[in-house]
Every structure is written in structure tokens, then in C-alpha cells.
Structure 1
Amino acid sequence: MDADRLPLFCDTALAQRIERVEAQLIAQGSEAAHRRRADTAGFVFPFAGGVASFAEEDSPLNKVAGLGFGGVPSATDLDEVERAFSARKSPVQIELAHLADPTIGALLTGRGYRLTSFENVLGLRLTGERERVMPTGITVRPSGDDEFEPWLDVVAEGFASPDAQGVPSHEEFPREVIARAVRDLTAAAGVVRRVALRDGVIVGGASFRMAEGVAQLTGATTAPAHRRRGVQTALLSSRLADVAAAGCDVAVVTTQPGSKSQQNAQRQGFDLLYTRAILVKEA
């Protein structure tokens, strides 16, 4: 990385753009879950510039995303959101960027929300061509429709066995729940898949989505037996080359604080843009 490179500065306009495309991703994945289930249990509706989403029981898509850049939610709006989640016996989980309107945090804690965790949003300015870094024995290529199930298997296996470095996530999901959510996001949200092979064997999977010039790196994982061999670096550098060539001006990735994923991203030149506070109110 160039020692003279200026870090990417994140103002509220950039944060709002990133949070807006994140809300779009969650909404589209949740709507795909509703179509798959063919029932009326789920919901997606706009909420104060973001989106409130319930996909299905215990889904990682059950949350409020993108809040904080479209005004302060009214008590009536919050009542509606809380009733919707409560009717499904689900807590309300709100992701609130620290660059959002600061009065919202005080409003939520006053209503009984508690701070449970943080997650970091990192970004990289994309200019020119990007190098694809491929350690010996590892290749990365597009994942075809004929190998969706093997790709899904390795992604679900990796997410079900998170890296132990850094602050642990406040959430854990069964493998089958992760698999359904990934399938829904891939089916409906324009997510593009990549697969990593080590000596010809599928050992990792990753994906990305492009919207409004933002390249969302929507997940990358390596099978536990093949970690610490450069697979994550290969998946990250390959996707960055792809999205830069497609004309995106910024790439973003969300990580647990202090995690191996954050370390890998910063080695590739990503800067910490902002932190999301995870606020939860039990049903």
C-alpha cells in the first residue's frame, strides 16, 4: 500500500449513500424470502430513510437498516415498527451509524433499546486498475449456476464457523438459516458470486453487489480447514478488480471490530469509515 496515500474521508453524504444501498440489499433479500415462503408473515416497509425488514423467524435479515439520514422517526412510526416485530415475537434490532442524526440514539435508549454490539464499515476509493493477488495454488473465478449448491455449501459452512479473532458477533445463526438468507440475497438483490479453489478444490466463496457506484462486498468465507492460506486475500483482490473495472467509485465491507476480516481489508488499503451501533429492544 502507498504510504503517501490519503485515507478515504467519509462525510455524511457518503455514509448516507452507503446506508441507502445497504437498506436496498436487506429489503430485496427479505422480499425474496417472502416469495419463497409464499406467506404473509414477513414485511418490508420504509422507515425514516431506512427500511424495517422481517424475512422469517431467526433470519439475519430481520432488522432496521439505513436509519439516521432521513429525519428523526416519530413516536408513531416507532410504535408501528415495534408492534410489527412484536407480533412476530421478534426483537427489534436497529443498526445506527455513528454519522447518523445523534438525537436518534438518545430517542431509542429512552424507549428501552440497549446497546448490544458494534460493527465497522470500511471503504476503499477505487481508481484505475486493481491487481489480482493470487497465492500459489489458489484461483478465483465466477461461480456458475451449475455450481450454486457447492458455492452455497462452502459459504454457509464458513459463516457457521466464524473466525475467533477480534470482538465476537452478538449473533449466531444455524447453518440452514444462513443458507436460506444467502440464497435469497443471491436470487433477488443482484449479488454476483465468486468461488475460490485451492489445488482445484472449492475452498471459499464470496459475493458482491453494485449500486449507485458503491460496490458492496457482501460476504466472503473460507472453509475452516483451508484458512490462513491466502484464500481471503485472493477473493478480496479479485472482487476489487471486478468492481473497479465496472466503474464503481468506492468499495465497502462490513466487519466485526478487530477481526481477521478487518485486518485483511486494511491490508488491501481499506479505511475505517464509520461504526454502526447495534441497538436491540426485546419483543
Structure 2
Amino acid sequence: MNTELLKRLAHAETTAHARYGKTGETARFGPLTAVHAGPDLPVDTGWHNGTRPFTPTELEEFEAFSLRHAQPTTLHLLSAFASPVLPMLRERSYALDYVLHVYIHDLSGNFAWQPADIREEQADAWATLAAQGFGLGTEKIMMVVGHAPGTQLFVADVNGTPAATAALSVTEGIAAFHGTATLPKFRGRGLQTALLAHRLQGAAAAGASLASVFVTPGTGSERNVERAGFRLVGARLTLTRRG
């Protein structure tokens, strides 16, 4: 495992996470960055930047921030940096919510062109379409994602009809791939594979040296990123304090 690479990734993700606080508040407690973007939003969380373990005081300050904003005390950290802080988190009643696999792709080579009708889209139209792919109740968070500073938004069309979405943001030389959704009737047509290839090309052109993506283990999305040449480097743990 390349610890330095994962430190770089954790730092970039933490820095990018702070963008979501533009509609609310961002606060830093040592290596933790906490965001409140608005009521009941999935990005109302904290991120650990991988530089060092957080202290009990820093964790308590993050918990106070979450309490003040009436949001769950939810924290993301990469698996490489979890061991030193897990005993503290268990003692303070944190439980694991879910795990995502972390994949990266080197951007120094050339990428195969994928035949597809892909274009950039404005934030509101992109968010509306992405919510149709992600499902009922995701409209608000997709608007937040779509309007985050520095985010490129893409739509794949099928015969002139919008069919799938994807997003890309570059922070500290790392391109984060996210916002990936396909409308139900267009699934199974290779649109996500095409959007991955398109973003790899775009990320390299934007000067990024690495691309990263988080995926649910054992899903079609994981198979897609593996086929696109991404390699597994770890996991992202999401934990929430109970009670």
C-alpha cells in the first residue's frame, strides 16, 4: 500500500469537501474538516485528511459542530489511517455505516476514445437529470453537488435524449470522479464506461496526475472502473456516532 499516495488522496478529498460549506459553514479541527451545507444533506459530514491522528479534543470539537447544526456526527476516513483512532471512536460510540472501495488511475498515458455523445451541462439541468438516475429524494443533494465550485458536469445522450450523468473535480492534482448515474431505461448500454473514458481524458488535459473514484464493493460500478484500468488502493470508512 502506498501510504504517501493515500495521504495525498485524503488531503485532496478533505480540501474538496470544504467547498460544500459555501452554502453553510466549514470548520477545521486539526486534521478534521467539518461541513454544514444545509439541513439534511449527505455532505454534512467530516473528513480526515490523513496527516496525523486527531486528538480527543479535536474529535469533541467536531462533535460539538455537528450538534450545533443538528446533523449526524458522521466522519469519513481512509482505511490506511483508521487503526490509531478506531479505539477512540469505539469508546465514543461510533459505529461503521458503510465501506466504499477506493480506486485510482494514473493519468500519464493515453486513453482509448469511447464512441458516445457526451457534452458538458449547466448545473441545474445536470442536477435534475442526475436525480432521476439516483432516485427519489436526491434532488436537493444533486443541486449542491452540481453547484460546487470547480465541478465539471457531463451528460451522455442517446439519440439526442439525456441518458446519464457524471462529474469531475480536480483538487491538488487529483481528479475526483463522482455524480455517476444512468436513467433506468438506458442502463446496460455502456454509458458509464464511456463517461469514465471521457473524464480520464478531461482530467489529464486539466493537468491532473491521478484520478480517483469511490465505489460500492461488488457492484457493476466497481466492475466498470476495474475494466477502465483503475486499481484498488484501499477503502473509505464512514462512521457515525450513535446516541
Same fold, TM-score > 0.5, yes or no: yes
Structure 2 counterpart of 1:116, from 77, 97, 104: 97
- Supply the distance in 1 between the matched residues of 2:39 and 2:140 (Cα, whole angstroms): 9
Aligned partner letter, 2:232 = L
Contact 1:203 1:222 in 2 (8 A): yes
Contact 1:115 1:279 in 2 (8 A): yes
Structure 2 alignment gaps of length 5 or more: none
- Supply the distance in 1 between the matched residues of 2:32 and 2:108 (Cα, whole angstroms): 29
Contact 2:15 2:171 in 1 (8 A): no
> TM-score normalized by structure 2?
0.93
Find the counterpart in structure 2 of residue 30 from structure 1: 21
Counterpart check, 1:159 vs 2:134: yes
Aligned partner letter, 2:175 = A
- Supply the distance in 1 between the matched residues of 2:143 and 2:160 (Cα, whole angstroms): 27
Q: Provide the identity percentage.
A: 28
Counterpart check, 1:274 vs 2:234: yes
How many angstroms does 1:27 deviate by? 0.8
Aligned partner letter, 1:150 = A
- Supply the distance in 2 between the matched residues of 1:202 and 1:29 (Cα, whole angstroms): 26
- Supply the distance in 2 between the matched residues of 1:102 and 1:281 (Cα, whole angstroms): 17
- Supply the distance in 1 between the matched residues of 2:15 and 2:73 (Cα, whole angstroms): 18
* Alignment coverage as a number of residue pairs: 243
Find the counterpart in structure 2 of residue 198 from structure 1: 158
- Supply the distance in 2 between the matched residues of 1:255 and 1:47 (Cα, whole angstroms): 27
CA separation of 1:55 and 1:29: change in aligned 2, threshold 3 A = same
> TM-score normalized by structure 1?
0.80
What SS does the aligned partner of 2:51 have? coil
How many angstroms does 1:18 deviate by? 1.0
> Over residues 78-114 of structure 1, what are the superposed CA-to-partner deviations in whole Å (9 max), with x where a residue is unaligned?
2221122123332211112111152111111111111
Find the counterpart in structure 1 of residue 111 from structure 2: 130
Structure 1 counterpart of 2:223, from 260, 263, 270: 263
Q: CA RMSD in A?
A: 1.7
How many angstroms does 1:155 deviate by? 0.9
How many angstroms does 1:73 deviate by? 1.9
- Supply the distance in 2 between the matched residues of 1:22 and 1:50 (Cα, whole angstroms): 11
Contact 1:129 1:245 in 2 (8 A): no
Structure 1 alignment gaps of length 5 or more: 1-9, 35-42, 162-173
What SS does the aligned partner of 1:193 have? strand
What SS does the aligned partner of 2:147 have? helix
CA separation of 1:184 and 1:29: change in aligned 2, threshold 3 A = farther
Counterpart check, 1:99 vs 2:74: no
Find the counterpart in structure 2 of residue 179 from structure 1: 142
- Supply the distance in 1 between the matched residues of 2:236 and 2:171 (Cα, whole angstroms): 20
CA separation of 1:265 and 1:220: change in aligned 2, threshold 3 A = same
Counterpart check, 1:139 vs 2:117: yes
- Supply the distance in 2 between the matched residues of 1:158 and 1:228 (Cα, whole angstroms): 13
